[in-house]
Structure 1
Amino acid sequence: MSIELDADNNLQDEIREPLIIPERKILISDDPPQEQKHQWMVYMSTIAAVCGSYAFGNCAGFSSPAQAAITEDLNLSTAEYSLFGSILTFGAMIGAITSGPIADFTGRKGAMRVAAAFCVAGWLAIYFAQGTISLDIGRLATGYGMGVFSFVVPIFIAEIAPKNMRGALTTLNQLMICTGVSVSYIIGTLISWRVLALTGLIPCAVLVIGLLFIPESPRWLAKLGHQKEFETSLQKLRGKDANISEETAEIQDYIRTLDALPKAKMLDLFDKRYLRSVTIGVGLMVCQQLGGINGICFYVTSIFQSAGFPSNVGTIIYAVLQVVVTALGATLIDKAGRKPLLLVSGSGLVLGCFLVAVSFYLKVHEIALKASPIFAVVGILVYIGSFSIGMGAVPWVIMSEIFPINIKGVAGSLATLVNWFIAWIVSYTFNFLMSWSSYGTFILYGVINALAILFIIVVVPETKGRTLEQIQASINS
C-alpha cells in the first residue's frame, strides 16, 4: 500500500515494503494443498458467523407474512403497521453507525454477540407485544442487530479466510440472508406471527454458542498488539501443522505500517490516501440499493398482483430463485472474479427493469394485455436472479476487502449506513414513483443500473486471488 505522506518519505517506503518481495522474501502464493485440508476451523467459524446473516434475513422477512395477522390481532391501523415495518430500517442505520466502533473495541466476535443480544431482546418484545409500543421497540431492536450484523459478518469472514477461499465464504453472508428471508416467507404462512417471532431466537442462540468455540479475527488481534493471541488464532484457522510464518510476517508488516498512522476519524476518510477505497466501498453500496431492489423486494406481491399473476406462486418462486442463484454466485466468485459477476449482474438488472417497464407500458396503454403478465413475471425473475448472482453479495465482499484495518471500522460503518439510508429512500419512494408512472419507475431503475455498470467498469478493481494487504496496498497507492 503506497500512501503519500510528504512529511515522511521513509514512512512511505515502509508502507510499500510488505509487497516488495525481493527485500522481505515473503512469497505470496496460494495455500499449499496439504494445508487446504486443515481449513475445518475456517469453515466452522464461517458457519457460526453466518448464523448472524440468517438472523438478519429473519428480521427482514418477518413483516410481510405477519402483516395481516398482526394488524388483526392488535387492531393496528395501516399507518401503525407502516411505522412498525419501516422502523426496522432506522434501527439498522443506528446499528450501522455504531457497528464499526463496537467491532474495533470489543472485537468481531464481541460485535456479533452485541447484535445477537439486540435481536433476542427485540424478538421477545415482539412476541409479548400487546400494543404498538412494545411492537415498535422490538422491531427497532432487531433492526439495530441487523445493522451490526450487516457490517461485522462479512468483515470477520474476510479477515479469517485464506485468499483463495475468501470470496466464496464471504458470499455465504448474502446466501444466508436470502435463506432467512425465504424461510420466513414460507413458514410465516404456516404458523402464527408470535411463533414466527420466536423462530428468530434460534439462529441467535446457535451463533452465541458457536462463538464459544471459534477464534477471534487474527488481524484484529494483531492490530491490538496481542502477539500470542494473534499467532494462536491464525494457527487454529490454518491448522496445527500449517506453516503460518509467511502469512504472520505479511500481516505484521502491514500492521506496523498502519500503526504509524493516526487513528482514523470520519473526516479522515476523505483524505487523498483513502479516497479511492471509500469511493469504491460507498459507491458500490449506492449502486446496490439505488437500482430498486428494496422497492421490488418489499412490494413484489403487489407487483405480481398488478400484473395479473398469482402472488403466492410468484413470491415462492421469487424466494427460491434468489437462494439458488446466490448459492451459484458463491461458487463462481473465486473463479470468475468479483468484477465480471458485477457486470453480468448489472446487465441482467437493466434487462429485468426493461421487461417490467414494457409490461406496465402495455397494461397502461391496453396493448397486448395477455402478454403483460408474462413480461412482468419474467422481468422480476430476471431482476432478482441477476441481483442475487452479483450485486447482492459482491459489494459486501469487496467492502470487506478494500479498507485498511486502521480505517475499517469507521469506513465500514459509513458504507453500511449509506446502504441502509439508500434502502430506506428506495422503499419509501417506490409507491410514490409507481403512482407517478409504473413503467417510468422501472425505466428510471434501469438507467440507474446502467450507470452502475459504468461505475464498475471505470472505478472498481478486481480483488480475486489477492491478500487483503495486497488489495489495500494497490488501491491506496
Structure 2
Amino acid sequence: MEQGQLWRQYIIAGVANIAITATGFALGWTSPVNLKLLDPDDTPLPRPVTNDEISWIGSLISAGAMFGPFIGGFLASTMGRRWGILLSSVPLIVGFILMIAVQNVEMIYAGRFVWGLAVGMLFTVTPMYCAEIATDDTRGALGSFLLLFVVSGFLLVYAVGPFISYFALQYVGVAIVAIFCVLFFFMPETPMYYLNKDDVDSAAKSLQFIRGKSRAGVEAELDKMAAEVRGASQKTAYLSDVFRGANFKAFYISCALVAAQQLSGINAVLFYMATIFETAGAILDSAIATIIIGAMQVGASAVTPLVVDRLGRRMLLLISCTGTTIGLGLLGMYFILDTNGSPIVDSMRFLPILALTLFIISYCLGLGPLPWVVIGELFPIDVKALASPIATAFCWLLSFLVTRYFYLVADIVGMGVVFLIFGVCCIVAFFFTFFVVPETKGKSFQEIQDMLAGKVSPSKTETI
C-alpha cells in the first residue's frame, strides 16, 4: 500500500490559514490601537475618540463578519474553496488602505467593517477547505489550525502594536496579507469541489498533490469521495433543506456551539484586554500582560491539533467549558470586590492575570477551535455551502452584540456581573455538550451523516 506524505496536508492547511492570521491581527487590532486613539499625542485622528466610538470600532468588525459568510459561501460553491479564500485578501487590503489613509473616525469604522467581510468569508470557507483536504484521522487537527492561526495574529498585534506607531502597525498587517497571497496561490483546490463539478481528472490530480501519491495510490479514496458526492448530488439543495432531518440537527448543534463560543465573552475580553488590565489595576503593565496572555493563547491553541483526534471533540469541549467557567467566576469575583472597595483587593492584583490566563487557555483548548471543526464535519456537501454561512453569520451577530454592548452593560450592572453572566453561559454550554453534541472523531463524512440521521447508534462514549 502506497504510504504518501502526510505532512503535505498540514503544510497546505497551514498556508491557507495564514489569511486567518491576518484576521486575528485585525480582530486584536483594537487592544493596542484603542489606547493610541484615546491619547491626544498618539492618535492619527484630529481628536481623541470617545468611549462610544471605541465601542463602535470594536464591534463593527463583527457587523461586517455577519455579511462575509454569504459572500464566502457563494464564492466557495461557484468559484471553489481556493478562490473563496484567495479573494478574502481584497477586503483585507482595502481595510488596511482605509486605516493608512485615515482622516476621521468614519474611515476607521469603514475599515473595520470591510475587515469583517474578510473575517466572515474566511471563517466560512477555511474550515470547509481544511475538512475537505484532510483524511478522516487528521480532520480535527487541521480544523483546529483556525484558532491557532487566529491567536498567532492576536499575539503579533499585541507584541508590536504598543511599541510602534499607528501607521507602522498597518504596514505589518499588509505584509501578512501579501505573504498569504503569494504562498496560497500555489495551493490546490479541494478534490470534493472538483467532484461536485463532475471533474474527476482534476479531483484526482488535486488528491495526488495533497496526499503525495500516484493516481493508483489515491484511486480508492477518490472512489469513496465520489460516492459521497454522488449521494449528496442526487438532488439540488435548497435553503429549506437546512431545516430538515439530520441537516437541522447539524445546524442547531453548530449554532449552539458558536453561541457558546461568543457568549463566553471571548471577543469582549480580547478586544478590550488592555483596557481590562488598566481598569483592574493589575500588577503588570497592561501591554506586557496582554503579550503574556497572547503567548498563552498560542501555546494552548497549539495543543489542540495534537490531541483533538485522540481525546475527541466532546472531551475537549467539556474541559474547555469547565475551565472558562472557573476563570470567568474568578474575574467576576475580583471586579465585584474591587467595585465594593474591599480591602482584600490590594493583595489580589495578580488575580485578573491568573483568571484571564485560565480563561484563555481553557477557551483555546475547546470552545475556540472546535465549533469550526464541527461545522466543517456535520453538514453534507450539498447543504454545506448554504448552512455554514448561516451558522457563521449567527456567530458574528452574537459577537457584534457582545462587543458593542459590553461596556454599556458593564456601566449599568458592573464589569464583575458581566463576567459572571458569561460564566453562566459556559455552564449551559457544558450541559449542552454533555447531552447533545455527538463525537465525530475518526468518522468519515458519511458515517457522521448516518449517525445524525439515527442510522447508526453511537456508543455511550460518543454521545450522551
Where do 1:96-115 residues align within 5 Å?
96-115=69-88
Instruction: Give the distance between the partners of 2:405 and 2:80, measured in 1 at CA.
Output: 37
In the alignment, does 2:296 pair up with 1:329? no
The 3 A distance-change label for structure 1 pair 385 and 195 is same
Corresponding residue SS for 2:344: coil
Structure 2 residue aligned with 1:67, among 8, 15, 34? 34
Counterpart AA for 1:249: D
Instruction: Give the distance between the partners of 2:402 and 2:347, measured in 1 at CA.
Output: 28
Counterpart AA for 2:232: L
Aligned residue in 2 for 1:429: 405
Instruction: Give the distance between the partners of 1:68 and 1:439, measured in 2 at CA.
Output: 22
**Matched-pair identity in %:** 29
In the alignment, does 2:125 pair up with 1:142? no
Aligned residue in 1 for 2:419: 442
User: Post-superposition shift, 1:40?
Assistant: 3.9
Counterpart AA for 2:402: V
Where do 1:342-361 residues align within 5 Å?
342-361=317-336
User: Post-superposition shift, 1:70?
Assistant: 4.5
Where do 1:283-432 residues align within 5 Å?
283-309=256-282, 310=284, 311-365=286-340, 366-432=342-408
Q: How large is the Cα RMSD of the aligned pairs?
A: 1.9
Conserved 8 A contact 2:27-2:271: no
User: Post-superposition shift, 1:133?
Assistant: 4.3
May I ask how many residue pairs the two structures share in their alignment? 443
Aligned residue in 1 for 2:11: 44
Gaps of 5+ in 2: 455-464
Instruction: Give the distance between the partners of 1:445 and 1:61, measured in 2 at CA.
Output: 20
Q: TM-score, normalised by structure 1?
A: 0.88
Aligned residue in 2 for 1:263: 237
User: Post-superposition shift, 1:275?
Assistant: 1.1
Instruction: Give the distance between the partners of 1:463 and 1:318, measured in 2 at CA.
Output: 31
- Name the stretch that deviates more: 335-344 or 354-363: 354-363
User: Post-superposition shift, 1:81?
Assistant: 4.7
Where do 1:30-179 residues align within 5 Å?
35-36=3-4, 38-70=5-37, 72-76=43-47, 77-78=49-50, 79-179=52-152
Corresponding residue SS for 2:246: helix
1:304-352 deviation line (CA, Å, top 9, x unaligned): 2333213223212211111111111221111211111100000001111
Aligned residue in 1 for 2:460: none
1:344-394 deviation line (CA, Å, top 9, x unaligned): 000001111121122123323415223442333221111111101111111
Conserved 8 A contact 1:218-1:233: yes
Q: TM-score, normalised by structure 2?
A: 0.91
Conserved 8 A contact 2:85-2:122: yes
Corresponding residue SS for 1:35: coil
User: Post-superposition shift, 1:80?
Assistant: 4.2
Conserved 8 A contact 1:99-1:147: yes
Instruction: Give the distance between the partners of 1:206 and 1:313, measured in 2 at CA.
Output: 28
Corresponding residue SS for 2:439: coil
Instruction: Give the distance between the partners of 1:133 and 1:433, measured in 2 at CA.
Output: 24
Structure 1 residue aligned with 2:197, among 214, 217, 224? 224
Corresponding residue SS for 1:368: helix
Instruction: Give the distance between the partners of 1:322 and 1:44, measured in 2 at CA.
Output: 21
Conserved 8 A contact 1:173-1:393: yes
Aligned residue in 2 for 1:5: none
Aligned residue in 2 for 1:11: none
